[in-house]
Structure 1
Amino acid sequence: MVKVLGVDIGGTKVRMSVVDDAGAITLDEKLPTQFPLYPYLEEQVLRFLELDPEIEAIGIGTHGFVDPTQGKVIYATETLPGWTGTLVKEQLERATGKRVEVENDANAAALAEAKFGAAKGYSRTVCLTLGTGLGGGVIWDGNLLSGGKHGGAAELGHMILYPNGVLCTCGREGCSEQYVSGTALVRRIKEAGLQITPQELFTTASTNPEAQKVVDGFTKDLALVISSLQAAFDMDIVVIGGGVSESAEFWWDQLNRHLEPLLLNPVEVKVAQFENEAGILGAALLVLDENK
């Protein structure tokens, strides 16, 4: 049995788990994100290696643009201050003597869904994670599409949906994640004058016309994103994960109604099988799966 350490780095917490080659999670901890981040990460990884000496390698999924070849964070927003430019792979391999691989967190989630989850058995998968932002991962004939000259391949949330639209954290206007994400829902709710949470939005939409308008705009924009991605990738399946997907039962039919006239060809769309587990499983797969 091969055992590796998976690390999922977010703005508020770092999750670390020992994962085996069957996808089973054993040792599992959620820690508050602390800054400066790299020294803290190294300290925690070394602690896990002491807890389980059988760990053979370390896979890390992180927010931001990542060069997976160098294992370097090319760009991270102020969600992770000081993280931009960090040579995570080089430093951590030197500190641990173990193989280390680093990827964008949404790419890691896509790996998990393709290997073990909703996209298992499909050749070409687009995974969308609807969380604070809109993350994206693309699996092409079994291989992860990632990297790029600036680490920005498959940054699907930064495709411009509405030119001259809402200002994005990347500095441009109208990016998809400003319309299709948890943060976007908070803004839409506020603009509609509603005093409810995103969770309440979906449960009250059937009886609240203003809430229904917000849900309609959200699902229509998500359908536009999916249809544009189909024109680029002609994927076999779209998997939708992230925190917003947990309420999919309330808006799934509406999404499909918007999708039907926009698609060039039929495409299967599924809710992600792994919710909070996708990031950690995908991080582990970076060092478990030869076709990462």
Structure 2
Amino acid sequence: MEKVLGVDIGGTKIRLGIIDASGQILYEEKIPTIIPLYPYLEENILRILAEQPEVHAIGIGTHGFVDPKQGKVIYAAETLPGWSNTPVKEWLEKATGKQVEVENDANVVALAEAKFGAAQGLNRVVVLTLGTGLGGGVLWDGKLLSGGPHGGAAELGHMILYPNGVTCACGRSGCSEMYVSGTALERRIDEAGLQITPPELFRNANTDLVAKRVVDGFTTDLALVISSLQAAFDMEMVIIGGGVSEAAYLWMDELQQKLKTVLLNPLKVEVARFENDAGILGAALLVLEN
């Protein structure tokens, strides 16, 4: 049976998994993200290929703006220093002799959810990954909306939500990810004078007025982001993934209430089926589908 290697590159860790055509994960491991990234990535991929020679192709999902045609990282913020302008596909194909495809990490999550998860059978889907930043993946008539002249298509976290707002890692002010992400939640908690984690914030919101106000601000802003995306894409479903989604059962009802006042049309909002595995599954689909 066809086997491929899926690689999910994040700011703090890299997950690698061998996946078959049915989406079953046959082997996986997690390693810390070490800079400089490329030689370390190549070394670990070659190690796995030596142990698993039946792997015939490699799919990679990575943080940053990606040109999927060239398989090149166009821009990555300081989350991954030195990763900008890395021709990952060219270098890895030369090193391994195998087909390599590269995409943005939120885009591959969209692929995984469309093929195996919450969006099975749907054609127009927006995925929002609420982690360190706010990632976006758009499935348009069954195909990923990605690339662009600067690799920046579907960088939904960099839509400006509040002009002249909080400074983003991209250098501009007021980007959505500065209000709707794990990092944004930590800032909101700090500004409120609370000394708790985001999961504790959501748990405390029923009994603590200050925590409730923070959650109210977060869900209001997330509803605004989703509303703007609906005006652009008129999608069938929004899927919310990333670390913040793990506590979604504590804040989803409030988000749904906020959405009622800002949506143009009814819209399904679901939590991603695959949490940690979405990245490697979606990365694998880049080459399983070819």
Q: Is TM (by shorter chain) over 0.5?
A: yes
After TM superposition, give the deviation of residue 199 of structure 1 in Å: 1.1
The CA distance in 2 between the partners of 1:229 and 1:289, in whole Å, is 27
After TM superposition, give the deviation of residue 185 of structure 1 in Å: 0.3
1:167-222 Cα shifts (integer Å, max 9, x gaps): 00000000000000000000000111111111100001100000000000000000
The CA distance in 2 between the partners of 1:261 and 1:205, in whole Å, is 21
The CA distance in 1 between the partners of 2:32 and 2:105, in whole Å, is 17
1:74-116 Cα shifts (integer Å, max 9, x gaps): 0001111111110000000001110000000000111101110
Which amino acid counterpart does residue 127 of structure 1 have in structure 2?
Answer: V
Partner of 1:31: 31
Partner of 1:75: 75
The CA distance in 1 between the partners of 2:184 and 2:35, in whole Å, is 27
Which amino acid counterpart does residue 174 of structure 1 have in structure 2?
Answer: G
1:16 equivalent to 2:25? Answer no
After TM superposition, give the deviation of residue 264 of structure 1 in Å: 0.5
Structure 2 gaps of 5+ residues are none
After TM superposition, give the deviation of residue 11 of structure 1 in Å: 1.2
1:166 equivalent to 2:196? Answer no
Trace 1:127-276 onto structure 2 (pairs within 5 A): 127-276=127-276
After TM superposition, give the deviation of residue 36 of structure 1 in Å: 1.1
The CA distance in 2 between the partners of 1:35 and 1:264, in whole Å, is 45
The CA distance in 2 between the partners of 1:32 and 1:246, in whole Å, is 22
The CA distance in 1 between the partners of 2:33 and 2:130, in whole Å, is 21
CA RMSD of aligned residues (A): 0.6
After TM superposition, give the deviation of residue 34 of structure 1 in Å: 1.3
The CA distance in 1 between the partners of 2:36 and 2:251, in whole Å, is 40
SS at match of 1:151: coil
Partner of 1:278: 278
1:252-292 Cα shifts (integer Å, max 9, x gaps): 110001000111111111011000111110010110114xx
Which amino acid counterpart does residue 127 of structure 2 have in structure 1?
Answer: C
After TM superposition, give the deviation of residue 63 of structure 1 in Å: 0.4
The CA distance in 1 between the partners of 2:135 and 2:56, in whole Å, is 29
The CA distance in 2 between the partners of 1:12 and 1:229, in whole Å, is 29
Percent identity of equivalent pairs: 73
The CA distance in 1 between the partners of 2:84 and 2:265, in whole Å, is 40
The CA distance in 2 between the partners of 1:157 and 1:78, in whole Å, is 16
Structure 1 gaps of 5+ residues are none
1:56 equivalent to 2:56? Answer yes
The CA distance in 2 between the partners of 1:121 and 1:220, in whole Å, is 30
Which amino acid counterpart does residue 286 of structure 2 have in structure 1?
Answer: L
Which amino acid counterpart does residue 287 of structure 2 have in structure 1?
Answer: V
Which amino acid counterpart does residue 14 of structure 1 have in structure 2?
Answer: I
Partner of 2:103: 103
Which amino acid counterpart does residue 131 of structure 2 have in structure 1?
Answer: G
Which amino acid counterpart does residue 21 of structure 1 have in structure 2?
Answer: A
Which amino acid counterpart does residue 182 of structure 1 have in structure 2?
Answer: G
The CA distance in 1 between the partners of 2:141 and 2:147, in whole Å, is 17
SS at match of 1:260: helix
SS at match of 2:283: helix
Which amino acid counterpart does residue 33 of structure 2 have in structure 1?
Answer: T
Partner of 1:87: 87
1:155-178 Cα shifts (integer Å, max 9, x gaps): 000000010100000000000000
| TM-score, L = length of structure 1 | 0.98
Which amino acid counterpart does residue 82 of structure 1 have in structure 2?
Answer: G
Partner of 2:126: 126
The CA distance in 1 between the partners of 2:218 and 2:12, in whole Å, is 26
SS at match of 2:262: coil
